[in-house]
Amino acid sequence: MSESEVKIGLNGTNGFRLPLLGFSKFTLPGVFGELVEQGIARAQAGCDTIKVVSEELAATVHETYSRNAVSATDYGLKVIEISNANTTLGIEFLGLLLGSKSMTDVLTLSAAQAHKAFDATSAQNKELWVLAQKLATETGEPIRRHVAKVLRQTD
């Protein structure tokens, strides 16, 4: 059915022409034509709303993944930095052990190494915890804003 048939059918006196299951076209009275016109207008408005919401959601997801990528990279770099520091600490300890002359030296070095390792691990865990919180906050922020915006629109 062409656009002109719809316009003539909706506005004309002959009613609305609608093909049905491959049968020839039949005419609906003017009241049905108006109902169909209203339905088409509502469907178009619904499609427009869905399009706008989809675009906003896509932007939110894009922002979320962008922030997530940056924060995850920061976290990964910190893990590499910590791994390097721990490896260096272990190599230094091994060098000290190789230079020890008695069992007493080995035990003293081991106790000192355990203390250093504990302090280093505590500080490293705090750093990783801060980065993990930042990752969670920055990843959730765009979603939180989008949900708040949608809730404000429905009020």
Structural domain boundaries, residue 128: 3-154
**What gap in Å lies between CA 45 and CA 43, rounded to an integer?**
5
Give residue 35's pLDDT.
Answer: 79
**What gap in Å lies between CA 8 and CA 27, rounded to an integer?**
11
Q: What is the mean pLDDT of the chain?
A: 80
**What gap in Å lies between CA 73 and CA 75, rounded to an integer?**
5
Write out the two tokens for 12: 């004309």
Per residue in 24-70, pLDDT (tens digit) is: 455 555 667 777 788 888 888 888 888 887 888 888 888 888 888 88
Res. 124: pLDDT tops 60: yes
Residue 56 and residue 64 in contact, taking contact as beta carbons nearer than 8 Å: no
Torsions phi, psi for 18 (to 5 deg): -140, 120
Note the helical H segments in 19-29.
none
Is the Cα torsion angle 96, 106, 82, 118 positive or negative in sign?
Answer: negative
Write out the two tokens for 50: 């869905």
* Average pLDDT of the segment spanning 112-125: 94
How many structural domains comprise the chain?
A: 1
